[in-house]
Structure 1
């Protein structure tokens, strides 16, 4: 079902510029990833969505059924390199190309003193947030290089650049994502692939609610210059700016969307 022409004209440029492109959004089952997937679907793009939960993907597909463009759900865990490769192969079989990857998949920090952080907890976070991001970049990069270019948007966090106690694994994973972004941006620029990073501050999602409700979370909320946490839709414009032709001369950068938290 196509949006009426007058409604399409009212979409921001960065959404309209995604129309008819092939876009892959990981971590689309809930929270920020779901909101970004919905915005991409609204634009008329051909959309591949992945998450670990088939049930979440099914409800997302139902939500997107009234939007223009095709939607293909793929259940996959990004920490599984073989599963990621299979999704990329199926995208190539379905549409023959890939224009945009938005790497939203990630897991929340294990909030524990670093001397008590277990090996398993460390690997869980690193495997999904850093290795999973690389696996998706690698497979998307292969398709984009073969087809003359594309745009990759990775997702870091304010904790990728600012130290906070008891988030050692999470901070390491997100700092790694930011350097991965820079390395790939430099390496792939001459082949038309842009790679950027989005670094959200504190947004109200199901994943962050427990932390925001804690005593440490209360301190964080009080320290945000804008005086509040972000709402999900407030990240969408920044993500689609980096994904779309609106940022055609931007690569290797990290865009902080944090209410001023890291500026102080």
Structure 2
């Protein structure tokens, strides 16, 4: 009989979280640290990461601050090398870095705006999977969790680039899961619905917020710390027979 509590622990594991400075990435990093993981945390700037490291270190967590833009493949490669130098291994990755800077009618989306979203959300996720995957394949195992969105599969206005990028993330996840399964590397997607973060607050506080809540059977948006359990599950041995799937945490949200 498996010990579920033991399987959910990450003691002795090294986990890399991108987009860890704020919002959902930060909340998942906290949950992973509480489960015993040594963390490498990445974002484009250092201030938020250093505050996170200070908070976690104060509770005994082991943290490496590794600023990096995931859209820069050379920087991603160097970051993975730095993590392995620091910890000796890399057991799990949470690819949470993402942007959604435009809430614009599709006919008004510029080429530059489209590329910005694709470079971070889709290309950046692939770069991180590729470089982390090299380490995990050599180790003989690991878990990659790509953060997608309910909008990968459910249409909504004014987010064409974001939705397309997240749909690409889910297709990428399925492909890598099949390709790497026989070498012990699992690849899954975690798809949040609407959570209150710095990224979403402007939308939720606008006229669209009521519509979003009305489409959520639980009658509210999520709080960031409510995503941590799903991240721990997918990173840990509790999900060792799960690959190529999408875990949706959205309060039952549907577009209305």
State the TM bucket, normalised to the shorter chain. over 0.9
Moved more, 243-252 or 16-25: 16-25
Partner of 1:23: 15
Moved more, 76-85 or 208-217: 208-217
Q: Does 1:96 align with 2:88?
A: yes
Q: Does 1:171 align with 2:168?
A: no
Aligned to 1:252, the other structure's residue is in SS state: coil
Partner of 2:79: 87
Aligned to 2:117, the other structure's residue is in SS state: helix
What aligned pairs does 1:1-264 form with structure 2 within 5 A after superposition? Answer: 13=5, 16-262=8-254
1:41 positional shift: 1.7
- Cα deviations across residues 216-258 of structure 1 (Å, max 9, x unaligned)? 2321111111100001111111111111111010000011111
The ranges of structure 1 where at least 4 consecutive aligned residues each deviate by more than 6 angstroms after the TM superposition are none
Structure 1 pair 107–94 and aligned structure 2 pair: CA distance change class (3 A): same
Tell me the distance in 2 between the aligned counterparts of 1:92 and 1:71. Answer: 13
TM-score (structure 2 length as normaliser): 0.95
TM-score (structure 1 length as normaliser): 0.92
Tell me the distance in 1 between the aligned counterparts of 2:6 and 2:136. Answer: 20
- Cα deviations across residues 11-45 of structure 1 (Å, max 9, x unaligned)? x8378521110110110000110011111222222
1:165 positional shift: 1.2
Aligned to 1:261, the other structure's residue is in SS state: coil
Contact 1:14 1:244 in 2 (8 A): no
* Number of positions where the alignment pairs a residue of Structure 1 with one of Structure 2: 253
Contact 1:26 1:103 in 2 (8 A): yes
Structure 1 pair 148–169 and aligned structure 2 pair: CA distance change class (3 A): same
Structure 1 pair 96–139 and aligned structure 2 pair: CA distance change class (3 A): same
Q: Structure 1: which 5+ runs fail to align?
A: 1-11
